[in-house]
Structure 1
Amino acid sequence: MTIQTHYHEGDHGTVARIVLDKPKALNALSTEMIVAVQAVLDEWKHNDRIKAVWIEGAGDKAFCAGGDVVMLYHSMQETAAGDIPEKAAEFFTLEYRLDYTIHTYDKPIIIWADGIVMGGGLGIAVGGSHRIVTEKSMVAMPEVTIGLYPDVGASWFFQRMPGRTAEFLGMTGARMNAADALFTKLADHYLESENKADLLQALTALPFTDPHLEISETITSLGESQVPVESQLRRHFDVINDLMKGQQLADIVDSFKSLETNEKWLGFAQKAILSGCPMTLVLVQQQIQRAKHMSLKEVFQMELMVSTRCAMHDDLAEGIRALLIDKDGQPQWSAQNVTDISAAQVEEFFTPPWQGENPLTNL
């Protein structure tokens, strides 16, 4: 099994718990795991005894470190140029359907976002009604390193971040701590990781007359305290806004080229954007602009189109190869600079690759 389920019974109802259970792979999402979580949530929706859902990752290192990109690579490798890699397209379709289910679920979903929360893991975490980060949380959308772009609903949640932090995070894959997650509205609460068992126990004692409010008050009552780490995004907020202010994408890249800093965190961000995939930088800018007035459903429909196109494009296979297959760290991107990318090339990513309706039309 790729997931475990547990039932925490109380006098007034049950808290049902999902554990993403591939700790050796940092609980990375496989198609099988996505299908399993979807099936459980669909079943629990109609179980009146279950009052709330809890999702966590197995082990002490990660909630979920992302999707199974090695599978995506093999799907692309076994597909002829110009054709849709079927396994990759199926993965994205099922993943976004699950993410949408979590966002719109009519029972509270408590996310215990302890440890690494990256990419597809953030897609699951961010849709919860009560998203808890800990002192061990490390959150990122590092798709720029593999030639993808921040998907799993990022086009929607990027709209809700302060200043220019969304573009910065999307283009640099910068790592966020618990304070950053709260600052960017990717999380709601902070608790020490040692409080997990106490919280679960306290939740089962609730009357569940007003579940959302009662759960929030229970989390807060467990000593929700000052986050012990400083938000790097808040600390460097003015610098980030200044770096991202360019009218043209090339201006933003130039501002990173000329950045002189002794700050390690900013230095990593600088290195990532300058060595990352130029097409990703373009897609980040485009997804934010195009999704500005989209509903959540429309965002996932757009992202399925873009992600499927990415799976048909050389950059994603090359990025995964360089990072995870050959591990040479020398990706040969299709474009050397953002200025080499034409408007027609960009528009292709936002053009349906399939005949007929979007596979997520019936979300």
Structure 2
Amino acid sequence: MKLICTEIKNKVGFITLNSEKSLNALSLSMIEELSVILQDWKKSDQIACIFLQGAGEKAFCAGGDIRKLYEAIVAQQKIDKKKLTQECIDFFSKEYELDYKLHTYPKPVIVWGHGIVMGGGVGLLVGASHRIVTEKTKLAMPEINIGLYPDVGGTWFLNKMPSAYGLYVGLTGTRLDGADCKFLGLADYYILSDSKDKILQELAQANWGSDPSQVVSDILKSFGEAADLPASQAELHQSFIKKFENAHSLEQFREVLLSHSDRDEWMQAGIKNFESGSPSSAYIIFRQLHIGRGLSLEEVFRSELNLSCQCCLHPDFIEGVRALLVDKDKQPNWQPATWGEVSLEWIDGYFKPLWEKDTHPLKI
């Protein structure tokens, strides 16, 4: 079975992530194939725009397929715990190269962000020029639960959210629906899912002319205007999120979060994720978002590659993947186990450069 399916109709290049059983999670081979396709279509006269979608109705893309990565790290640790396995470098560097390629692609890229959109799927969505969410979109970056942090450009797009939403979403892994994504700038269009066939028909009949991006925008705008945008829970909680604007340390963030007494279901879900997540992840998420505010997109991805590979050398990422995806006991044994045990030296270790500037493996 082909994991990436392509088709060209009326200069529209269709790409389908075809791994429905895994909720279209991205494996390294899928990432590599996607990159080749985008590169081939970049200058092709046969392609005016790209439509990227996931197979089935459940998910666009539920993240990266990190089971093989987990197995490679476990095997390496049996030999030498201090050595980074090449699989980590390959997976994250090629994933970030793909994300950067989408962010800077010269042709319009439409992403149909329907159903579950998590982790690596968020990276694909936010990098596109025309980002669509629907009434069934469920987007989240819950990396704190696997000892990681919101990568795939999270340092970039979380910092672009209004108020303290980026910090809050990054630290709590709060699930966002289509209306939330539109409000927070993660999507350009909220369109009802039953409009998809009509959109494809209009793309199939489009006269591309000299400005394909404008053609796509005009088509999608009409469908977006026809959909009634529901209330965004994220927007309704603006006064709550505003309280985190003056949180200049993780301890201050935690104090504001846990001292808030009038909690509803939306808040409680975020608090639960935050409290059960990796203490180390909480610290690295706060620091990464803080130091990443002034970075260019290229610098963001380079810093994230270093941090992601450091996560592969530290214990919580592997333990989080084991507990959630391998043994599925949902009982991670975090190291350090509590906030009080996390030292500044320990967190500094996550940010220690693995390469000199001229030897950095990420070429973008």
TM-score normalised according to structure 1 size: 0.95
1:34 matches 2:31: yes
Query: How do 1:248-287 and structure 2 match up within 5 A?
Result: 248-287=249-288
Q: CA deviation at 1:108?
A: 0.5
CA displacement at 1:207 relative to structure 2 = 2.4
Shift of 1:223: 5.2
CA-CA distance at 1:120 after TM superposition: 0.4
Distance 1:347 1:289, change over 3 A: same
Asked if 2 retains the 8 angstrom alpha-carbon contact of 1:109 and 1:128, the reply is yes
Q: 1:117 to 1:253 in 2, by over 3 A?
A: same
Q: Distance in 2 between matches of 1:252 and 1:329?
A: 25
Task: Determine if the alignment matches structure 1 residue 50 to structure 2 residue 52.
Answer: no
Pick from 353, 358, 361 the counterpart of residue 359 of structure 1. 361
Partner of 2:157: 157
Give the Cα separation in 2 of the matches to 1:211 and 1:294: 30
- For residue 234 of structure 1, what is the aligned residue in structure 2? 235
Whichever residue aligns with residue 296 of structure 1, its letter is: L
The root-mean-square deviation of aligned C-alpha atoms, in Å, is: 1.5
Partner of 2:66 in structure 1?
69
Aligned to 1:302: 303
Cα distance between partner residues in 1 of 2:261 and 2:55: 40
For residue 5 of structure 1, what is the aligned residue in structure 2? 6
Q: CA deviation at 1:354?
A: 4.1
Could you tell me how far apart the structure 2 residues matched to 1:111 and 1:249 are? 34
Contact 2:190 2:224 survives alignment (8 Å): no
Alpha-carbon spacing, 1:176–1:206, altered in 2? closer, same or farther (3 Å): same
Report SS of the residue matched to 2:359.
coil
Matched residue of 1:334: which SS?
Answer: coil
Q: Distance in 2 between matches of 1:296 and 1:2?
A: 29
In the aligned structure 2, how far is the partner of 1:69 from the partner of 1:338?
Answer: 27
Q: CA, structure 1 residues 262+252, in 2 after alignment: closer, same or farther (shift >3 Å)?
A: closer
**Aligned-pair CA distance for 1:172:** 0.6
Residues 39 and 199 of structure 1: is their aligned pair in 2 closer, same or farther, counting only changes over 3 Å? same
Say if 1:249 and 1:338, in contact at 8 Å, map to a contact too.
Answer: no
> SS of the counterpart of 2:82?
coil
> Tell me, which stretches of 5 or more residues in structure 1 are unaligned?
none
1:64-104 alpha-carbon deviations (Å, 9 max, x no partner): 00001222211210112111022122110110000001110
Contact 2:173 2:273 in 1 (8 A): yes
Structure 2 stretches lacking a partner, 5+ long: none
Counterpart residue number, 1:142:
142
Between 1:119-128 and 1:67-76, the stretch displaced more is 67-76
Cα shift at 1:246: 2.8
Distance 1:256 1:161 in 2: 19
Aligned to 1:104: 104
In structure 2, what is the Cα distance between the partners aligned to 1:329 and 1:167? Answer: 25
- Trace 1:112-261 onto structure 2 (pairs within 5 A): 112-208=112-208, 209-222=210-223, 224-243=225-244, 245-261=246-262
Between the aligned partners of 1:257 and 1:337, the Cα distance in structure 2 is 16
Report the TM-score, using the length of structure 2 for normalisation: 0.94
- Matched to 1:65, the amino acid is A
Alignment check: 8 A CA contact 1:133 1:187 kept: yes
